[in-house]
């Protein structure tokens, strides 16, 4: 079956994770403010559907700040520390910068040269475009679908439907490449895409019957 398009996840697939990112340091941040880390482990994950909070960037960012505040209340951080911490992290969230892995720009350009259409589908904040411009790869994508503005997070079927609708593609002729087994592989499989699991470090998935596994983006060309 001929591949006509390739859709990529962002963080962990194209963007290199940073151990200095505040989410990775959250246990230390909470303890430093006098809170209990147990509250973090009990905190519920972001809902897969949040359309009401994605009507504008201002609305979405306010919702994010409210979620941080609820986390710090759960962790027992008292005022005025928790309000100051919410303000600091809300500002830092939109100032942080992520670089892409070295194999990303050449692979994207090679796929474009082959005539393939490219898309990006990410569970990310409202500023995804800023990161793409920083890495000078924004113009290599035909469509960018971000959960912050879409109102849905992977593996919700609506965010995959948004990719299909905006690009006008056939999922059964489209590779969907991501590092998360649940969000990317299982979500893309349910939506009818051809899933590819990228495991840049050690892979913890024993059975790859649902998806091919690659260790870097150089493995993409072999799947075409």
- 82-137 pLDDT, tens digit per residue, is 999 999 999 999 999 999 999 999 999 999 999 999 999 999 999 999 999 999 99
Whether residue 60 is predicted with pLDDT greater than 90 in this model: the reply is yes
pLDDT digits (tens, 9 = 90+) for 140-191: 999 999 999 999 999 999 999 999 999 999 999 999 999 999 999 999 999 9
pLDDT at 1: 65
Q: How far apart are CA 112 and CA 108, in angstroms?
A: 6
Tokens of 73: 């209340």
Where residue 203 falls among pLDDT bands split at 50, 70, 90?
confident
Q: How far apart are CA 88 and CA 43, in angstroms?
A: 20
The string over 168-206, giving b where at least 16 C-beta atoms fall within 10 Å of a residue's C-beta and e elsewhere, is ebebeebbbbbbbbebbbbbbbebbbbbbbbbbeeeeee
**Residue 86 CB: number of other CB atoms within 10 A?**
20
Q: What strands, in cross-sheet order, belong to the sheet with 5-8?
A: 143-146, 117-122, 5-8, 174-178, 194-198, 212-214
Residue 130 CB contacts under 8 Å (≥ 6 apart), including other chains: none
pLDDT at 40: 87
**pTM for the whole thing?**
0.94
């Amino acid at each position: 079956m001929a591949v006509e398009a390739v859709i990529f996840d962002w963080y962990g697939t194209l963007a290199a994770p940073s151990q200095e990112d505040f989410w990775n340091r959250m246990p230390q941040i909470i303890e430093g403010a006098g809170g209990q880390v147990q509250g973090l482990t009990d905190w519920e994950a972001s809902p897969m559907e949040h359309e009401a909070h994605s009507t504008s960037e201002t609305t979405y960012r306010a919702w994010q700040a409210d979620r941080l505040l609820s986390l710090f209340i759960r962790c027992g951080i008292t005022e005025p520390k928790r309000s100051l911490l919410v303000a600091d992290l809300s500002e830092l969230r939109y100032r942080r910068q992520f670089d892409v892995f070295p194999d990303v720009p050449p692979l994207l350009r090679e796929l474009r040269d082959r005539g393939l259409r490219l898309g990006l589908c990410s569970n990310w904040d409202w500023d995804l475009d800023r990161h793409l411009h920083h890495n000078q790869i924004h113009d290599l994508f035909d469509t960018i679908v971000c959960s912050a503005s879409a109102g849905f997070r992977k593996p919700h079927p609506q965010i995959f439907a948004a990719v299909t609708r905006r690009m006008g593609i056939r999922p059964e002729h489209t590779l969907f490449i991501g590092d998360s087994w649940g969000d990317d592989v299982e979500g893309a499989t349910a939506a009818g895409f051809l899933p590819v699991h990228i495991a840049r470090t050690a892979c913890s998935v024993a059975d790859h019957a649902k998806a091919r596994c690659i260790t870097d983006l150089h493995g993409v060309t072999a799947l075409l």
